[in-house]
Chains A and B, each alone.
Chain A
Amino acid sequence: MRKLDLLSSTILFILALFVIIASRKFQVWVMGEPGEGFFPVLLALILGALSIISFFTAYGSRSASPLTEPGGTPIMWKKLLCYILALFAYALLFSPLGYIVSSLMILVFILRVAEGLRWTRSLTISAATLVISYYIFEKMLKVPLPRGILEWR
């Protein structure tokens, strides 16, 4: 029994169900031509059917799921969670705090906390990255980046 495939099949089935429910107000067929609901509902039905097939295939399968970590090294949960936290914090703070401030904070956080580099190294790398990236993207390429709290410029 391939456990991972059971999981993925179930998730995809739920997704298919979700699409059909979300499409309930759409018209599938309107005056002799397909409506806006035609394509999504058709796709969702196919997906639902395939996920059921996939589920039962996984159920009856003799082989086990492939290992998700090559070599079987244990997952470094702390580092992973730091990254995920940093990612979403960055996404939330990017605009309000602006590019420079948010990037500095997140870079230092990742380098110091997630990767375990020394404070001095973390700060220097972050500062250098910011200076260079700011110069390249904002000055040379004229890519507008959020100012955030450094609004005076």
Chain B
Amino acid sequence: MELFQNLALGFNLSLAPMNVIYCLIGVALGTAVGVLPGLGPTATISMLLPITFRMDMTSAIIMLSGIYYGSMYGGSITSILVNIPGEASCVVTCIDGYQMARKGRAGAALGMSAFGSFIGGTLAIIGLTIVAAPMAKFALSFGPPEFTSLVILGLTLVTYLSRKSVLKSIMMAIVGLLLACIGLDPIFGIERFTFGSQTLSDGMDVAIMCMGLFGIAEVLSMAEVPSEQADFMKHPTRLRDLLPNKQDWKDSSGPILRGSILGFFLGLLPGGGGLISSFTSYAIEKKVSKHPEKFGTGAIEGVAGPETANNAGAQASFVPLLSLGIPSNVVTAVIMGALMIQGITPGPMMYKEHTAMFWGVITSMYIGNILLILLNVPLIAVFVAILRVPYAILSPLIILFCFIGAYSFNNNPADVMVMSILGLIGYLMRKVDLDAAPLLLAFVLGGILERSLRQSLLISLGSPLIFFTRPISAGLLILAIILLAIPTIRFISGRKIGAGQ
């Protein structure tokens, strides 16, 4: 079969010793980059671009893509250990992963995250090899109205994340969208809400928001209680005991399966990738769970599902790039730049002219997934050892770490002040029972939403009907409306019962 021929071709390339080494460098670097706040896969890949000019193109792409999905895993390490999402797509992992760590189950969380990512990535690649072409064609039919509706759907899912009221989550999401408006308007370039500040005119940065709203806010919350109370619960010492047990695997099998499929399909869509996949998976797992109240207190399903989905999504996002030449997110856009500088234009022609490279990259992802497991599982014991440090010492170290991260971003001292202010705001938000996760996720989606919304209205000459006349867009929006309607109806009928009618 042609497929096997292609796979053989691909593995022939990706199993070459040099390429395996590049893959290893990529995933190791990616993991490290995911752990460090302030540095993301986009920045790293951009910095390494010049090096790739002298490398063989296939090797270069293998390494760069390794950085991308490696960072998905690395970001989850800090999410679980210290409640700081290393990447935006790891925000969801903080919710239950960190709670698991608090309860002495960080090893299980880290382990399940690694295994889930592996399985998700592997299934995504299998899916990739089979359905790449037809799915990619479907992706072509996505225009601004479809993007808008997809993001709106995504935002409605975001509101399912919180254990608190849906109304508050929606309001937090709107605040996140408003924060995304700070800076230059995406179409006219007019400054908004910058109040003359040079720092603000670049817009708020997601890494700084993560560190402030999650990391610093957590440290301040812990400052309220005696440090002994803040200490992490004791973790077992043997690696065998640290890793997920049979019950964990039983609980996680469903989420992993669903996460893989979900992540794969969402990753294929433009604008997809790890982010939307992760919180969609969380929302779905919460919905199908027999014990939804466990979510937010340390349910392993809340880690297994999203982690699987975000890795599957990250790897699936290479399909539109390689087969259609459409980068679905910033990272793949930068990699596309790397290809184009070398004279290779991703797209249908690439498939014909550089078949070996195409399959070489895809098969390298399989190898990369294996390398990630081999690299990271033994390290779990090391990561967990960090949690033994008394919180009295850990918390100023976290502050230090965040400050280094924030400063290293732009060498702008104002950034550390912004982060500190956000930290205080994050702390105060917790005091008044408001959740930061929907805010952050909406913030990340905000830029795309506004751009697509305004472009759509431009195309339709001001008519909002465009969102409903185009079938895909209409479908997505109707789904979003249904998802919003369910809690609203429940809310209204609940009130009626409460009023004694």
Residue B205 at the A interface, CB < 8 A?
A: no
CA distance A69 to B181 in the complex (A): 34
Total residues of chain A contacting the partner, CB 8 A: 67
- Asked if B434 and A57 sit within 8 Å, CB to CB, the answer is no
What are the residues of chain B within 8 A of A83 when measuring CB–CB? 219-220, 223, 395
What are the residues of chain A within 8 A of B432 when measuring CB–CB? 4-5, 7-8, 11
- Asked if B417 and A133 sit within 8 Å, CB to CB, the answer is no
What are the residues of chain B within 8 A of A12 when measuring CB–CB? 171, 175
What are the residues of chain B within 8 A of A26 when measuring CB–CB? 190, 192
Nearest-Cβ distance from residue B33 to partner chain A, whole angstroms? 10
- Asked if B420 and A87 sit within 8 Å, CB to CB, the answer is yes
Contact of A36 among B175, B188, B407 (CB under 8 A): B188
| Interface-side segment among B90-98, B129-137, B224-232 | B224-232
CA distance A29 to B419 in the complex (A): 34
Residue B251 at the A interface, CB < 8 A?
A: no
What are the residues of chain B within 8 A of A103 when measuring CB–CB? 400, 403
CA distance A146 to B76 in the complex (A): 29
What are the residues of chain B within 8 A of A125 when measuring CB–CB? 393
Residue B408 at the A interface, CB < 8 A?
A: yes
Total residues of chain B contacting the partner, CB 8 A: 56
CA distance A101 to B30 in the complex (A): 31
Nearest-Cβ distance from residue B98 to partner chain A, whole angstroms? 15
- Asked if A115 and B453 sit within 8 Å, CB to CB, the answer is no
Output the nearest chain B residue to A80 by Cβ-Cβ distance: B223
What are the residues of chain B within 8 A of A69 when measuring CB–CB? 224-225
What are the residues of chain A within 8 A of B458 when measuring CB–CB? 33-34
CA distance A15 to B423 in the complex (A): 18
Q: Which A75-114 residues have a C-beta within 8 angstroms of B?
A: 75-76, 79-80, 82-84, 86-88, 90-92, 94-95, 99, 103, 106-107, 110-111, 114
Q: Which A1-15 residues have a C-beta within 8 angstroms of B?
A: 4-5, 7-8, 11-12, 15
C-beta contact mask, B154-175 vs A, less than 8 Å → 1, else 0? 0000000000000110110011
Task: Please list 29 pairs of residues, one from A and one from B, whose beta carbons are closer than 8 Å in the complex, sorted by A's number.
Answer: A4-B433, A5-B168, A8-B434, A15-B175, A22-B193, A32-B461, A32-B462, A39-B450, A40-B193, A43-B174, A43-B181, A46-B174, A54-B168, A73-B229, A76-B224, A76-B226, A84-B220, A86-B399, A87-B399, A94-B403, A103-B400, A107-B396, A110-B396, A111-B392, A129-B400, A137-B404, A137-B408, A143-B404, A146-B413
Residues of B at the A interface (CB closer than 8 Å) are: 167-168, 170-171, 174-175, 177-178, 181, 185, 187-188, 190, 192-193, 216, 219-220, 223-227, 229, 392-393, 395-397, 399-400, 403-404, 407-408, 411, 413, 416-417, 419-420, 423-424, 430-434, 450, 453-454, 457-458, 461-462, 498
